[in-house]
Amino acid sequence: MTNTQQIMDETEQYVLHTYNRFPVAFERGEGVRLYDVEGKEYLDFGAGIAVFALGYGNRAYNDALKAQIDRLVHTSNLFYHTPLRDAARKVIGHTGMSKVFFTNSGAEAIEGAIKAARKYAFLKDGSNDHEIIAMNQSFHGRTIGALSVTGNPHYQDPFRPLMGGVKFANFNDFDSVMAQVSDKTCAILLETVQGEGGIYPADPEFLKAVRRLCDERGILLILDEIQCGMGRTGAWFACDHYGVRPDIMTLAKALGCGIPVGAFVLNEKAAAMSLAAGDHGTTYGGNPLACAAVSAVFDQFDREKIVEHVQELTPCLEEKLDALVEKYDFLTQRRGMGFMQGLVVEGRQAGEIVKAAIGNGLVILSAGSNVLRLVPPLIITEDDIDEMIQKLEEVL
Ligand SMILES: *Cc1c(COP(=O)(O)O)cnc(C)c1O
């Protein structure tokens, strides 16, 4: 029995089977490459689901975490600590928002955003029947609150009854949003670029119209930037491309580059009138280790000019993916922004292509059943892109 097979068998013996995992056990990473326990090398265009933006083994990031582990890992939120101050200052500095709350995951960031929006509306009119408008084909996480705003019956149906007060509209269809708006609407929630749903960027006109609607009706706009934020689209946050600012922004994935940390970030208006002392909490959220990771990520992004790098290399990636769409009949479209790209597959299962690519030493992901998703570490070079195209073509 191979080492991999043994790890697989013993893992499945003990771990609840909620994932159909690929038959690979990774052992270590270096830059944009992963190595499995058999020593096989993989080019990584998945980044642990759009997480490991800095690439594996970033020296300064690793050193910052090691130093923090030796100093202090955890204190609870009953006390102050400098990593929290520093990480918060960097989040606020880069988002231009007003206040941040650190969580342990993306789903928890969504939970917090929902609570903040409900409290905001409650303080305004004292009523308890507010509604949130979310989008069909969205993804916001697997906890009951986050699942309740995830417009995907496949994820939702076994877990009903879900949280109430949620209505769904169609992404990029402003009329369908208007059809759901009422005096009870407290927030409109959407991903600036839908990720799991199939890599759909918001139409500029749609996003601007939703922002205007929110301003006119006193509704909070919540933008989920958990996947598309943190430089992935070639701007610090995808909404920067649109000139649209949310009232609440959610972050996670690349925020800690692998240390579990998320955040919801509020503008002055939302922060001034929402969650107050005693309204929300978390034992781990924003602990010293998580905050050291956040600080190290922002520092490395600034030092290595990661966002500029994504901007510079995006035309190259898009051009080469467009060439694949030209060449293969079953690839019908490229969608995406920056290093968050999807190739639409017709007549074949995206999952089968992903499996074959991984077998060929290239990690890519799918989104839905018919989209190949490319979300590489943000440090890839033109040579890495060429190698990705070559490995992908070998399986296409
Ligand atoms: C991954 C993701 C989430 C959920 O994050 P978790 O850390 O898995 O809970 C929420 N929203 C978007 C857009 C995501 O991509």
Helix, coil or strand: residue 2: coil
Tell me: the pLDDT tens digits for 286-307? Answer: 999 999 999 999 999 999 999 9
First to last CA, the chain: 30
Strand partners, 134: 168
> Residue range 193-209: average pLDDT?
98
Tell me: the pLDDT tens digits for 312-327? Answer: 999 999 999 999 999 9
What's the distance, CA 301 to chain centroid? 17
Tell me: the pLDDT tens digits for 82-100? Answer: 999 999 999 999 999 999 9
Q: What is the pLDDT, as a whole number, of residue 2? A: 78
Interval between CA 391 and ligand 1 midpoint (Å): 28
Interval between CA 343 and ligand 1 midpoint (Å): 21
Q: What is the pLDDT, as a whole number, of residue 368? A: 87
Q: Which of 144, 227, 228 to mutate to test the pocket of ligand 1 (most atoms within 8 A of CB)?
A: 227
Q: Which of 52, 140, 152 to mutate to test the pocket of ligand 1 (most atoms within 8 A of CB)?
A: 140
Share of the chain above pLDDT 90, in %: 99
Check if 229 has its Cβ closer than 6 Å to any atom of ligand 1: no
Decide if 113 contacts 256 (C-beta within 8 A).
no
> Residue range 22-45: average pLDDT?
98
Tell me: the pLDDT tens digits for 108-162? Answer: 999 999 999 999 999 999 999 999 999 999 999 999 999 999 999 999 999 999 9
> Residue range 15-19: average pLDDT?
97
Query: Is residue 1 scored above 80 in pLDDT?
Result: no
Residue 369 pLDDT class (50, 70, 90 cuts): confident
Q: What is the pLDDT, as a whole number, of residue 50? A: 98
Closest ligand 1 atom to the C-alpha of 252?
Answer: 7
Closest ligand 1 atom to the C-alpha of 138?
Answer: 13
The overall average pLDDT reported for the chain is 98
**How far is residue 304's CA from residue 174's CA, in Å, rounded to a whole number?**
39
> Residue range 255-279: average pLDDT?
98
Closest CA to 379 of 300, 265, 323: 300
pTM exceeds 0.85 for this model: yes
> Residue range 268-275: average pLDDT?
98
Residue 252 pLDDT class (50, 70, 90 cuts): very high
